[in-house]
A and B are shown apart, each in its own frame.
Chain A
Amino acid sequence: MALGERMDWKLWSLKKSIWVFHVNTGACNNCDIEIVNLLTPKFDVERFGIKLVGSPRHADALLVTGGGTRQAAVRLREVYRQTAKPCVVFCMGACACGMGIFEKGYHMAGPIDHIIREVDPGAIIAYVPGCPPKPEAMIMGVVKALAALQPEEKYGTEPVGQPVVADPG
């Protein structure tokens, strides 16, 4: 691929291989187990270049589970600040999308998108609902977020990566 003026290299490199950092903000561990499930041979998201990393400074995306408790909200904001921009925030599961059954809880500061937008009003946030979401749904959420990052008119002529199928069949 030649160096073109139309290329947005930051975005291009973000999409090529998304390294994700997993943040639990008070989840019950069910979504977390499904995220771990993504890395098993059955779903094997490393074939798309998606990889779990140990530090938000290495990450292109945050996989956030849980509704965002008051204790975790401060940490989540700090993790978001440390993540290299541009980055995508994935709200994994019903709690992360809208606090779920904990909506009226005394310990909640969420939902996740409100907490993130306090730091960065222009944050890129993708939602994957479900309790827990199926691994296929998580893969599909990532694929759709990538598609949204790649406007047709801008990169229509430049295929990025391989076509992906969400259903491992």
Chain B
Amino acid sequence: MDNQLSPIRDKLAGIERAMETRVFLPCEAEHVYEVCRFLFEELELRFVISTGIDAEDCFEVLHHFSDDASGALVTVKAFVRDREAPELDSITPLIPGAEWIEREMHDLLGIKFRNHPNLRRLILEDDWPEGVYPLRKEVQT
């Protein structure tokens, strides 16, 4: 796996192996599209789902890919450092299946996905106030 990842090695902050079949690829937000493109198109991994986390000092967007041949799960962990205006590249132009999960992360955490074709509200109710993102740490309910 490490050899396979060498073309994008300079875009990653490291390669963490939690297990033989569990790989984390931490990277900065600006490289997320290129890393995901490599995994999806060159290594032909299957996109599973994404996760958005408010980690207090930054936002983390995790794109999970599965290598069905080996059963390995590869997670691209992108750090979005700007808390005021969190923004990173959408992977929807590359993987249409990521559209709704990116809309959901935009709804709940307020992360803007650049080049997303349809970044409308998805799961919050119609009269939810603008600019309130319920899964952010500072929001108390």
Residues of A in contact with B (beta carbons under 8 Å apart): 69-71, 104-107
Instruction: Verify if B139 is at the interface (C-beta below 8 Å from A).
Output: yes
Q: Considering only CB atoms and an 8 Å cut-off, how many residues of chain B contact the other chain?
A: 8
Instruction: Verify if B125 is at the interface (C-beta below 8 Å from A).
Output: yes
B141 CB contact (under 8 Å) in A69, A71, A104: A104
- B125 touching A106, Cβ below 8 Å: no
Digit string of B106-141 for contact with A (CB within 8 Å is 1, else 0)? 000000000000000000111110000010000101
Residues of B in contact with A (beta carbons under 8 Å apart): 124-128, 134, 139, 141
A95 to B20, CA, bound (A): 41
A69 to B125, CA, bound (A): 9
Chain B residues positioned under 8 Å from A106 (CB to CB): 134, 139, 141
Smallest CB gap from B140: residue in A = A106
A100 to B115, CA, bound (A): 40
Number of residue pairs A-B, CB distance < 8 angstroms: 15
Chain B residues positioned under 8 Å from A104 (CB to CB): 141
Chain A residues positioned under 8 Å from B128 (CB to CB): 70
Chain B residues positioned under 8 Å from A71 (CB to CB): 124-126
Task: Report 5 cross-chain contacts, Cβ distance below 8 Å, ordered by A residue.
Answer: A69-B125, A70-B128, A71-B124, A71-B126, A105-B141
Smallest CB gap from B135: residue in A = A106
A105 to B139, CA, bound (A): 12
Other CB < 8 Å A-B pairs besides A70-B125, A106-B141, A107-B124, 11 of them? A69-B125, A70-B127, A70-B128, A71-B124, A71-B125, A71-B126, A104-B141, A106-B134, A106-B139, A107-B125, A107-B134
